[in-house]
């Protein structure tokens, strides 16, 4: 496998919707409904509870979120006349690629080198949603990152899948799948991204990646 340094930059804002441990345990114990006497959180505090954070408390993209986007994009990659990289039920991608790290801090892209970028700020976002059970309108409060980027290294099996095919996979994941809530494969437009750095870690030159869509 070959190691690559990859940077993904936003093409549209990202909406996150992390489910906390209390909510998960509530599902396990079937106590999902909130108490009517519970203190109402401020919009900012309610949104903050849905931010994905790494071990240092920084807003991040967890590896499963990124891998999910890439595996879903695998349905657009044909290996031969009969096989695709992914289907609705399974994917060959985990055996061909290993992303190093468990989470990736959300950075705010700047004009300088990546090392000078700070962390992406967020604000609360309020939108109308629909209860899937009854269909009534509900208020959804989530954190929104206007512009963002992530950078990481990945081991790619370029003997089994060509490097340009991996690059196409990341590009399709950014435009057709996306990450977070309200993303393209959920009939939305948030969480879109494009690879802007694709560098083999070593002496090989950086591959120039064209922008397919204007940055958000």
Q: How do residues 79-89 score in pLDDT, each as one tens digit?
A: 998 999 999 99
| Predicted pLDDT at 20 | 78
Q: Give the start-to-end residue ranges of the domains of the chain.
A: 2-200
When the pLDDT of each residue in the chain is averaged and rounded to a whole number, the result is 90
Q: What span, in angstroms and rounded, lies between the C-alpha atoms of 48 and 125?
A: 11
- The 3-state DSSP composition of the chain as helix, strand, coil percent (nearest 5) reads 25, 30, 45
Burial class (CB in 10 A: 0-12, 13-18, 19+), 200: middle
| Beta carbons within 8 Å of 190's beta carbon, 6+ residues apart | 12, 13, 14, 15, 144, 178, 180, 181, 182, 183
Q: What span, in angstroms and rounded, lies between the C-alpha atoms of 182 and 63?
A: 19
Answer yes or no: are the C-beta atoms of 21 and 117 closer than 8 Å: no
Of the CATH numbers 3.30.70, 3.10.450, 1.10.3470, 3.40.50, which one belongs to the domain with range 2-200? 3.30.70
Answer yes or no: are the C-beta atoms of 198 and 206 closer than 8 Å: yes
Q: For 95-147, how does the pLDDT look when each residue is reduced to its tens digit (9 = 90+)?
A: 999 999 999 999 999 988 898 999 999 999 999 988 878 888 999 999 999 99
Question: pTM for this one?
Answer: 0.87
């Amino acid at each position: 496998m070959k190691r690559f340094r990859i940077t993904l930059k936003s093409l549209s804002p990202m909406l996150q919707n992390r489910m906390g441990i209390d909510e998960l345990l509530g599902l396990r114990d079937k106590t999902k409904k909130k108490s009517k006497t519970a203190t109402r959180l401020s919009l900012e505090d309610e949104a903050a509870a849905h931010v994905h954070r790494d071990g240092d408390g920084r807003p991040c993209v967890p590896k499963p979120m990124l891998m999910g986007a890439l595996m879903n994009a695998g349905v657009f990659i044909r290996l031969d006349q009969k096989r695709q990289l992914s289907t609705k039920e399974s994917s060959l991608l985990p055996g061909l690629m290993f992303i190093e790290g468990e989470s990736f801090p959300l950075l705010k892209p700047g004009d300088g080198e990546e090392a000078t970028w700070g962390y992406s700020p967020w604000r609360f976002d309020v939108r109308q949603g629909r209860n899937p059970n009854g269909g009534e309108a509900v208020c959804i409060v989530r954190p929104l990152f206007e512009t963002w980027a992530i950078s990481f290294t990945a081991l790619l099996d370029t003997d089994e899948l060509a490097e340009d095919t991996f690059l196409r996979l990341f590009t399709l994941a950014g435009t057709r799948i996306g990450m977070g809530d309200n993303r393209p494969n959920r009939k939305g437009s948030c969480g879109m991204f494009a690879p802007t750095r694709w560098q083999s870690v070593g002496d090989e030159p950086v591959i120039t990646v064209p922008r397919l869509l204007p940055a958000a």
